[in-house]
């Protein structure tokens, strides 16, 4: 059997090693000043100290990055020493994030979103907001009229676990008792978490259904508001209309507005898909989806606030006037927020 052939390993002569070392040293000396300059700029930017960088260095940042990236490519070709390769790879990676990566920290993004982008996105879907508001008002009227015509509709519109004592035929005293608050805050944390989870699910569903051209979103808004209309009919008929409105306003001005925004965001996507114009349906959905996603991110924040108001303020505040004051203050706050925030920033369109 023939034995496999093995090539005898050769050892580079000392002269070749010395030549490669001299070439490596010369490569570093010719470019090291640019590397150090780039490293100083990147370090200052990473420490959020741009004032320490001169205008000349700031303008030279992209050029220095490209030169260092080119040096890294050459260093790999000529098999430069491992330490220098590791240094260049780390430097190029850090510089890339400063040149091409996100130019704001997470805290900066949050601040811009809350103070500018959210309100701008909400104002950008004003037409869908008007449509969703009209649908919600119509749903409330439908619920009222259905129950007023036949009280059996109340049991079809209002879930049994929510109706409890609040049902047709209940006495005024029994209905008033359901509006009473709690004497302490024990157990309200879990209640607030449950309400936040439930309301968030409704809002997300209203938004998600918009992809079916917005029709299911409209039906969901009508159904939810029909339940409110049925409850209004019940309490107004018992002479507790003001008390019920005050009780509801504590969290309702925030919660219903959040659901309105979620429904409008879903309708915005559905309308853009049904009427894409000169764009493809997919391109229209992607473009409208960015704006709607920003609206929905704010909706989750609003529902968290509504959950706290419903779980604490509504249960611990007992008088209708104080409850109405809380609800009215929240409504004025949100109206001012969405109307005024972000208007003084040029180019703040999402």
Which residues are CB-contacts of 234 (< 8 A; sequence separation ≥ 6)? 147, 154, 166, 167, 168, 170, 175
For residue 24, the SS3 value is helix
Taking alpha carbons only, the member of 243, 271, 238, 230 closest to residue 139 is 230
How many helices (H) and strands (E) the chain has is answered by 15, 0
What is the model's pLDDT at position 214? Answer: 85
Contact (CB, 8 A) for 206 and 266? yes
What is the model's pLDDT at position 11? Answer: 44
DSSP state of 134: H
Taking alpha carbons only, the member of 55, 326, 310 closest to residue 197 is 310
For residue 235, the SS3 value is helix
**Could you give the residue ranges of the DSSP H alpha helices within 179-319?**
188-208, 215-237, 241-274, 281-308, 314-316
The whole-angstrom separation of Cα 142 and Cα 151 is 13
Arithmetic mean of pLDDT, 155-183: 79
Q: Which residue has the tokens 């779980």?
A: 311
Indicate if the pLDDT at residue 315 is higher than 60. yes
Highest mean pLDDT among 142-151, 197-206, 286-295: 142-151
DSSP per residue, 256-294: HHHHHHHHHHHHHHHHHHHS-TTS-HHHHHHHHHHHHHH
Structure tokens at 62: 């992209």
The whole-angstrom separation of Cα 326 and Cα 251 is 9
Give the burial class of 292: count Cβ atoms within 10 A of its Cβ; 0-12 exposed, 13-18 middle, 19 or more buried: buried
CB neighbourhood size of 41 (10 A): 22
Dihedral of the alpha carbons of 197, 201, 202, 204, in degrees to the nearest 10: 130
The whole-angstrom separation of Cα 94 and Cα 44 is 12
What is the model's pLDDT at position 264? Answer: 95
DSSP state of 51: G
Question: Which pTM does this prediction carry?
Answer: 0.68
Arithmetic mean of pLDDT, 194-199: 64
Confidence of residue 344 (pLDDT cuts 50, 70, 90): low
For residue 157, the SS3 value is helix
Confidence of residue 7 (pLDDT cuts 50, 70, 90): very low
Confidence of residue 257 (pLDDT cuts 50, 70, 90): very high
- Plot region of 88 (φ>0 → left; ψ -120 to 50 → alpha; else → beta): alpha
CB neighbourhood size of 83 (10 A): 8
Residues 262-281 have pLDDT tens digits of 999 999 998 888 888 888 88
Across the chain, mean pLDDT equals 82
């Amino acid at each position: 059997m023939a034995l496999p052939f093995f090539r005898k390993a050769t050892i580079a002569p000392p002269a070749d090693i010395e030549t490669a070392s001299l070439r490596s040293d010369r490569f570093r000396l010719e470019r090291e000043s640019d590397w150090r300059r780039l490293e100083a700029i990147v370090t200052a930017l990473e420490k959020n100290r741009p004032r320490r960088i001169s205008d000349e260095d700031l303008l030279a940042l992209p050029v220095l990055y490209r030169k260092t990236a080119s040096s890294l490519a050459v260093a790999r070709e000529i098999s430069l020493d491992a330490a220098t390769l590791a240094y260049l790879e780390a430097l190029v990676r850090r510089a890339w994030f400063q040149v091409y990566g996100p130019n704001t920290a997470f805290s900066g993004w949050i601040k811009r979103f809350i103070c500018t982008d959210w309100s701008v996105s909400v104002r950008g879907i004003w037409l869908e907001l008007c449509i969703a508001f009209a649908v919600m008002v119509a749903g409330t009227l439908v619920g009222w009229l259905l129950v007023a015509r036949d009280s059996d509709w109340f049991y079809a519109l209002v879930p049994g676990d929510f109706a409890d004592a609040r049902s047709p035929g209940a006495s005024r005293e029994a209905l008033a008792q359901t509006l009473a608050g709690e004497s302490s805050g024990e157990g309200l944390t879990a209640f607030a978490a449950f309400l936040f989870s439930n309301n968030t699910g409704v809002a997300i569903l209203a938004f998600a259904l918009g992809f079916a051209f917005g029709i299911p979103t409209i039906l969901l808004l009508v159904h939810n508001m029909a339940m409110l209309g049925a409850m209004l009919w019940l309490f107004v008929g018992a002479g507790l209309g003001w008390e019920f409105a005050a009780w509801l306003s504590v969290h309702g001005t925030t919660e219903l507005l959040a659901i309105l925004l979620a429904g409008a965001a879903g309708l915005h996507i559905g309308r853009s898909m049904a009427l894409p114009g000169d764009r493809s349906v997919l391109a229209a959905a992607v473009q409208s989806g960015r704006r709607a996603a920003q609206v929905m991110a704010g909706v989750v924040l609003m529902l968290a606030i509504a959950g706290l108001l419903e779980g604490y303020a509504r249960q611990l505040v007992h008088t209708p006037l104080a409850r109405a004051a809380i609800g009215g203050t929240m409504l004025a706050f949100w109206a001012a927020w969405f109307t005024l925030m972000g208007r003084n920033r040029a180019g703040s369109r999402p």
